[in-house]
Amino acid sequence: DRSVLSVDDLSVEYRTDDGAVKAVREVSLHIEPGETLGIAGESGSGKSTLALAILRYLEGNGRITGGTIEYDGRSVLDLSSRELKELRGNEIAHVPQDPNTSLNPSMTVGDQIAEVVRTHRDVSRSEAMEQTYEVLHEVNLPDPETNASQYPHELSGGQQQRVLLAIALACQPQLLILDEPTTGLDVTTQAKILDLIDDLIEERDTSVLLITHNLGVINQISDRVGIMYAGEIMEVGATDEVFRSPTNPYTQGLLASLPQGEGRRLKPIPGQIGDLRTIPDGCVFADRCEFATDECREGSIEKVSVDGNPSHLTRCRRWEHAVANPIQADTQ
Ligand code: ATP
Ligand code: MG
């Protein structure tokens, strides 16, 4: 079937005084109707940049230097500013990483949501307020009418996160992009927000691009997962498959660095993401990879399908060695 979103070979750079930061390089992904794709990877791997680029929300010094983005068969990079505005509110909703920058502190929650509703739907003020109460109810805020009259600072962090979701849902998007939707919340609140997202996805058949460094979150609600490192997607496939049998040394390392429960010690990946202004030949992960040999430091590394499965891809020349001898958390 036809993808809601297809990104092909997308590259993004940020211009700085010290040269161009190549934050996203030749990333390809697709999302089918009703599907949730998770993107995971450590801090600085380009997850937010990818999300911002899809909606052309990049900061002033950011620039798309290659590739294509198709939403529902239309090229996002060729849209006029009017068409882009329509797309951003009506069809793709984006909940950015920092809730503080996305809520207006001097406007009530209800007015903010109603404004979004009225920007995209031809409805009266009172109809917009009715729809506002409905979405506040949908995101399980305790008392929609009271909450609508409150200012953001009168709400808790978890409630603010729900308001952001309510704003995103107010226009019934076909695609929802969530950037770290639970970061900074306590574990219980995190779990509630995740359940809520899960329910909303089920009920509405919305497609979701879910960005997080938290693999547990991905495991809970994503059908497929893409593992990102230093601007590239290192492995992509069905979530259960990638988590059960990770083939890329970076994926293995990420999984081994999670708290593992009884008798196992977490094992962080040594080193850090290198300088994104000068990308070395070969594999971007080679310097941190215990499987790397000279062949890994030459040319460009192609994605290969794992065991002939066309939907499980890994960007590694030595994945078979990694599978035969996987990186695992140490037993104590
Ligand atoms: P996190 O998990 O911390 O949110 P991320 O995966 O979302 O990280 P990005 O925010 O996309 O990562 O950043 C990718 C790279 O681009 C980083 O090296 C970052 O420092 C750099 N970067 C981001 N925004 C800019 C900017 N406006 N100018 C220059 N460099 C930037
Ligand atoms: Mg980010």
| Share above pLDDT 90 across residues of the chain, in percent, rounded to a whole number | 70
| pLDDT at residue 100 in the model | 72
Mean of all residue pLDDT scores within the chain: 91
Minimum CA distance residue for ligand 1 atom 19 = 44
- Whether residue 313 is predicted with pLDDT greater than 90 in this model: the reply is yes
Q: What is the mean pLDDT of the segment spanning 141-166?
A: 91
* Ligand 1 pocket, mutate which of 11, 17, 21 (most atoms under 8 A from CB): 21
Instruction: Tell me which DSSP letter residue 88 carries.
Output: I
CA 142 / ligand 2 centre spacing (Å): 30
Minimum CA distance residue for ligand 1 atom 2 = 43
CA 126 / ligand 1 centre spacing (Å): 41
- Provide the edge-to-edge strand list for the sheet that holds 5-16: 19-31, 5-16, 62-71, 74-75
Q: What is the mean pLDDT of the segment spanning 233-243?
A: 98
| pLDDT at residue 281 in the model | 95
- Nearest alpha-carbon partner for 286 in 297, 295, 302, 299: 297
- Residues, Cβ < 5 Å to ion ligand 2: 47-48, 97
- Nearest alpha-carbon partner for 22 in 213, 230, 288, 226: 230
Domain ranges of the chain: 5-222, 228-331
Query: What confidence tier does 329 reach under pLDDT thresholds 50, 70, 90?
Result: confident
- Whether residue 261 is predicted with pLDDT greater than 80 in this model: the reply is no
Which atom from ligand 1 is nearest to the alpha carbon of 41?
A: 6
- The sign of the CA dihedral 295, 47, 183, 35 is negative
Residues having CB closer than 6 A to ligand 1 are 14, 16, 21, 23, 41, 43-49, 59, 61-62, 97, 213, 276
CA 229 / ligand 1 centre spacing (Å): 12
d(C-alpha 181, C-alpha 189), whole Å: 11
3-class secondary structure, 15: strand
Which atom from ligand 1 is nearest to the alpha carbon of 62?
A: 27
- Whether residue 332 is predicted with pLDDT greater than 60 in this model: the reply is no
Minimum CA distance residue for ligand 1 atom 16 = 23
More reliable by pLDDT, 88 or 31:
31
Residue partners of 273: CB distance under 8 A and separation at least 6: 42, 44, 45, 229, 230
Write down the ipTM of this complex: 0.99
* Ligand 1 pocket, mutate which of 45, 250, 273, 278 (most atoms under 8 A from CB): 45
pLDDT of 89-113, one tens digit each? 789 999 888 767 789 999 999 999 9
More reliable by pLDDT, 113 or 263:
113
CA distances from 171 to 56, 72, 165, 308 (A): 19, 17, 11, 41
| pLDDT at residue 258 in the model | 79
Asked if residue 93 lies in contact with residue 101, where contact means CB atoms within 8 angstroms, the answer is no
| pLDDT at residue 244 in the model | 95
| pLDDT at residue 265 in the model | 66
Query: What confidence tier does 241 reach under pLDDT thresholds 50, 70, 90?
Result: very high
pLDDT of 280-297, one tens digit each? 999 999 999 999 999 999
- Whether residue 260 is predicted with pLDDT greater than 70 in this model: the reply is no
- Whether residue 1 is predicted with pLDDT greater than 80 in this model: the reply is no
CATH architecture of the domain with residue range 5-222: 3-Layer(aba) Sandwich (3.40)
More reliable by pLDDT, 65 or 137:
65
CA distances from 92 to 171, 238, 309 (A): 9, 23, 30
Minimum CA distance residue for ligand 1 atom 30 = 14
pLDDT of 162-199, one tens digit each? 899 888 888 789 999 999 988 777 888 788 888 888 88
Pairing relation of β-strands 207-211 and 36-40? parallel
- Nearest alpha-carbon partner for 251 in 262, 261, 241: 241
The label of the residue with tokens 């993107």 reads 39
- Provide the terminal-to-terminal Cα distance of the chain, rounded to the nearest Å: 47
* Ligand 1 pocket, mutate which of 12, 13, 24, 48 (most atoms under 8 A from CB): 48
pLDDT of 201-220, one tens digit each? 888 889 999 999 889 899 99
| 314 backbone dihedrals φ, ψ, rounded to 5° | -135, 145
Tokens (6 digits) for 112: 């903010």
Query: What confidence tier does 264 reach under pLDDT thresholds 50, 70, 90?
Result: low
